[in-house]
Amino acid sequence: MNHVMRAWTFWIRAELRDECREHLENTKLPELRAVPGNLRTAAIFRDLGDGTTEVVVASLWDSLDSIKAFAGADYLKPTIEPGDKGKLLDRDVIVRHYSIDAMDADVFERALAAPLPL
């Protein structure tokens, strides 16, 4: 059985990076990690050099059924809190899903489990 990687991308002003990271690490990521079927969740940030930062929230799930149980029938649509909408410069209109075989899942899990040296 394949795992599923769920990924959603949005863009913010670079000066909001720390605020966004703190918000995700203190609220959204723990919420996602607590959902049955969620195996790993992380947010990754990339400064684009033009005053904007790209943010990808990626999670690894045991199945698409678990994602649907969490996100509902409209599982391709991202949910954005009303207070956060004004902080986004742009966003993907859908959440992407990728089939991950066992070998890829192992690499994904190890990459997210080990902190990178800064």
Token reading at 2: 């394949």
- pTM for this model (two decimals): 0.83
CB 11 within 8 A of CB 89: yes
Report pLDDT for 103: 58
Can you say whether residue 32 is alpha, beta or left, with left for phi > 0 and alpha for psi between -120 and 50 degrees?
alpha
Question: From first to last of its 118 residues, what are the pLDDT tens digits of the chain?
Answer: 588 999 999 999 999 999 999 999 999 999 999 999 999 999 999 999 999 999 999 999 999 999 999 999 999 999 888 888 889 999 999 999 999 876 565 666 666 665 544 4
Task: Enumerate domains of the chain plus CATH numbers.
Answer: 3-113 (3.30.70.100)
Q: Distance between CA atoms of 10 and 54, rounded to whole angstroms?
A: 6
Report pLDDT for 94: 95
Residue reference for tokens 């394949």: 2
